[in-house]
Amino acid sequence: MAVTIKDIYPICTAPEGIPLVIVKVVTSEPGLYGIGCATYTQRWMTVAHAVTNYMKPLLVGKDVTRIEDIWQMSMVSAYWRNGPVLNNAISGVDEALWDIKGKMANMPVYDLLGGKVREAARVYRHADGRTLEEVGDKVQAFMEDGVQVIRIQHGGYGGNAYEQALESMRPDGACTGAYYDPLGYQLSVTKLFDYMRNRFGFNVEFCHDVHEHLDPIESVRLAKELEPYRLFFYEDSLAPEQNEWFEIMRRQTHTPIAMGELFNNPREITPLIANKLIDYIRCHVSQIGGITPAKKLANMAEAFSVRTAWHGPGDTSPVGHAADIHLDVSSWNFGIQEWAGFKQASLDVFPGCPELRKGYVYPNSNPGLGIDIDEELAKKFPCSEKLPQWTNCRRPDGTLNRP
């Protein structure tokens, strides 16, 4: 008799203060369940509502083994599709079904995805600071821990270190917000790379995240100016609405390009890969709908020599990180994994978190995703209903910028 879906519910928790949404799929087989990441931290309540009110009624009673059919059905059920809220709700169920299938097969998910092509996923870490020395000291600490690739930022995305200097540039009555100065930011990045290469030479890899702060031509100019510093990659250098500019950027610079954490729709992604306009595709796996579409995307990217660099910040849950690592170790064209790291509270709430050792993250070999959630402990870390502030980012004249 088929094992079927008996219940689906969201678990919202914030062990590190960042709202996370986990979906639990309970089956008709006593004790057999799976969990998946549905974290869209900025709109977590809406995702939780969609899981309870739409995913559950749609899927209760369905055969848990039919992951592909359930994914396709969930995607078209709402008719309008490819938005961040429903993609996350679908991802929560999708990843939970892969977890369940692994438990049924007594195999880790990476084995279901083709098996390991490497033991662990090489990661990049994030070094940020108010001064160049502070960023450099963080780089040095990471290097001493064996980290080989480090993303360097001077004063946050868009260089918030310059915020103080901007007061005098604002018009009277300007809104409050996360102001930044595009010119000051661009000049600061070349200084940052100059300082790092002088201090550390070329025996460490560096990347940088523009976080879509610049106008397209400014971003092209910065990519060219950074060429002598030999970046590992140049991240999210344009907003998704400016995708056509990648063709111009590609013709202008040999700096490797990583793009995609804000993508939700396959049509945002596939032209960049098929036209070889980027080097790394770095979607947020739950934002595109889970392991099922991510594995297909990795396979498609392999055909065009584009590598994966799945988005892995603090607002990817440990369950989402586990899903990323299973993809990483089983995808030949894996490039690098962003790694935010876990604090003790996350390790306690999520037993079985992937482990970082000397610049590599290892999945565990337990069946399924190999990670669980302590639901009682999770309740001790309620999610805040406060709206995010940093996404409202303004230019010196008060104009709202892409975040």
Question: Active-site residue numbers?
Answer: 157, 211
Task: Provide the minimum distance between the beta carbon of 343 and Mg ion in the complex, in angstroms, as a whole number.
Answer: 20
261/328 with CB nearer Mg ion: 261
Q: Does 315 bind Mg ion (CB under 5 A)?
A: no
Calpha distance 180→391 (Å, rounded): 12
7/241 with CB nearer Mg ion: 241
Q: Which stretch binds Mg ion (CB under 5 A): 82-90, 138-146, 203-211, 394-402?
A: 203-211
Calpha distance 275→284 (Å, rounded): 21
**Residue 334 — φ and ψ, nearest 5°?**
-60, 140
209/279 with CB nearer Mg ion: 209
SS3 154: strand
- Residue identified by tokens 């848990």 is 64
Task: Provide the minimum distance between the beta carbon of 230 and Mg ion in the complex, in angstroms, as a whole number.
Answer: 20
The residue count for binding Mg ion (CB under 5 A) is 3
Over its C-alpha atoms, the chain yields an Rg (Å, rounded) of 21
Q: Which stretch binds Mg ion (CB under 5 A): 84-92, 145-153, 202-210, 324-332?
A: 202-210
94/209 with CB nearer Mg ion: 209
- Residue identified by tokens 């990049």 is 124
Task: Provide the minimum distance between the beta carbon of 338 and Mg ion in the complex, in angstroms, as a whole number.
Answer: 7
Q: Does 324 bind Mg ion (CB under 5 A)?
A: no
Task: Provide the minimum distance between the beta carbon of 354 and Mg ion in the complex, in angstroms, as a whole number.
Answer: 20
Calpha distance 290→160 (Å, rounded): 33
311/394 with CB nearer Mg ion: 311
* Nearest residue (beta carbon) to Mg ion: 209
For the chain, the 3-state helix, strand and coil shares in percent, each to the nearest 5, are 40, 20, 40
Task: Provide the minimum distance between the beta carbon of 142 and Mg ion in the complex, in angstroms, as a whole number.
Answer: 17
Q: Which of residues 228-257 bind Mg ion (CB under 5 A)?
A: 236
Task: Provide the minimum distance between the beta carbon of 72 and Mg ion in the complex, in angstroms, as a whole number.
Answer: 29
Task: Provide the minimum distance between the beta carbon of 124 and Mg ion in the complex, in angstroms, as a whole number.
Answer: 11
Amino acid at 188: S
- The torsion angle over the Cα atoms of residues 361, 366, 370 and 373, rounded to 10 degrees, is -130
Number of CB atoms found within 10 A of residue 119's CB: 9
Q: Quote the tokens at residue 256.
A: 């490797």
The partner residues of 108 in beta bridges, in order of sequence, read: 368
Let me know: does 37 contact 317? Beta carbons within 8 Å: yes
Let me know: does 39 contact 109? Beta carbons within 8 Å: no
Residues 149-188, one symbol each (x = binds Mg ion by CB under 5 A, - = not), give ----------------------------------------
Cα three-residue angle 350-354-356, rounded to 5 degrees: 125
181/261 with CB nearer Mg ion: 261
Q: Does 209 bind Mg ion (CB under 5 A)?
A: yes
Question: Which of 204, 135, 156, 201 lies closest to 359, judged by CA?
Answer: 204
| Positive or negative torsion for Cα 312, 315, 317, 320 | negative
234/342 with CB nearer Mg ion: 234
Interface residue list for Mg ion (CB under 5 A):
209, 236, 261
